[in-house]
Structure 1
Amino acid sequence: MSKVSCEIIKDMLPLYYDDVCSDDSKRMVEEHLVECHSCKLELDRLKANFKLPKEEIEIIRNDRNVIKNISSSWNRSRVKSFMKGIIISALLFSLIILGYVGLFHWNITNVATDVVEIKNVSELADGKMVYYAEINDGYSLNTLKFDMDKEGNFYITPLRPIIKQEAQSLPLLEKGYEFIDIKEQEVVRGKEIKAIYYGTPRDKILIWEKGMYLPKASEEIENMFHFE
């Protein structure tokens, strides 16, 4: 360790004498005083002629404590701010992802029946009912939801996301024949089906109701649903 000059030690002697310097500084002064007679005499002179008022010493000590507290508080605040930033960023990212999925992929929007045409309702040879549905608004249909109320009304509800996509050149659900196995649905749901609607309870098109005559499906339609 390099030798500390007497000028530095003499500058620190008042603080050393009043015991307001750091432990490292105190140790450095004491090590120097062991070897330096001149600085030791200077310390003796301070003891005889100079003394900081107790109030000023207390202020200096308090100032040191305040500085330490401010430094510790600032470091804690930095950590808290950093953690808050991470949490907020994660929440924003999650909201963006959920928003994107909700707008483009969650099938939660009903298709209004004023753009739907139902026709060619008939019966297949195996007893299943078949019908042709066409959605004419130019947008794709993502899924069909099947539901039944307590009165035995069966609903086939067309659903799509909030942000609609244009229909493909080869339509999937937007235009085509669909079949319903009424007997199987009654077994699964444990209740007799009295009517079948396309849409929702508030916006619906009647496809079939109990007692309605169903013509036999054409050979062309039978071939569409021949799965052997």
Structure 2
Amino acid sequence: MKISCNMIRDLLPLYVENMASQDTRDIVEEHIASCENCKKRLEEMRTLEELPIDTDIAPLRNIQNTLRREKLQTIILSVMITLVFAVVTMAYLTTPAYISYNENAVSIIEQGDGTVLLNFSEEVSGFHVEQYPAADNSGYVYDITTWETIWHQKISKNNLENTVLNPNGETVASIYYYNTDGSENTLIYGDPITDGSVITLPRLVLSYYVLFAIGFLLICGIGLAIFRKNEKIRNGLEKIILLPISYLFAHLLIKGLNSTTYLARRDFYAILLVTISLYFALLAGRNILKKLSIKKPKTTLK
């Protein structure tokens, strides 16, 4: 019986794998002895079988590392956004609502040993004191103010303890209570330091930081425009420009459009913490978006 080439080719895989019976093997061998096409097909199959198995796991490891980096960036983005929300919320809850002077807010207690105590009412949740030498060298002048916060009103009801104003025995010449509405300071202890009125103004240090951030942002923007075709420099500038953007946005979250402050250290630290969190969040978001744009197939309109 004549066996067609198609039938032999169906049997070749079994023949190559040594899974055919002896009768089938005899039929295949008899056919390929006289058929060059099937013989060539058999040789090709044997060649494919002898190809070495690729055991290089480097590509899989690269994919694994890429997935791990993307997962880490997503985690960083989530953590930083959560941290920003937490800091902004805490800053809001502890934002000082300054208390205008009244005799109940703070009282002065003079001890026999010369120390002076500040006694605060229940409504006071915080205070600030500034000390500077009197012009006539009679001692030190103290400017104080008090405030309440939402945190103190709604969450924590802990009252302030009496505070020693001069723990090192400094001579207290005068104590002024300053309001934050632009009105003149109120003398609550000692002698006046001047014949006229005294007004404590807010500090402008945050304004300088805002101006610096805006200037830095403009410089980075100009650099991006100049080096837009240089990928290495452009990538570096794209990361750097996120710093002033983060600071300006953090300032808006903490202070709004106001850049004056009576508590420069407190406000600056809050802005700085939000800035750092925002920067890493924006950096992680930038990397994620960049990878997504690379993976997205490009389509062309015809």
Would you tell me which structure has more strand in proportion to its own residues? Answer: 1
Q: Could you tell me the TM-score, scaled by structure 2's length?
A: 0.36
Would you tell me which structure has more helix in proportion to its own residues? Answer: 2
- Whichever of the two has the greater Rg, that structure is 1
Q: Could you tell me the TM-score, scaled by structure 1's length?
A: 0.44
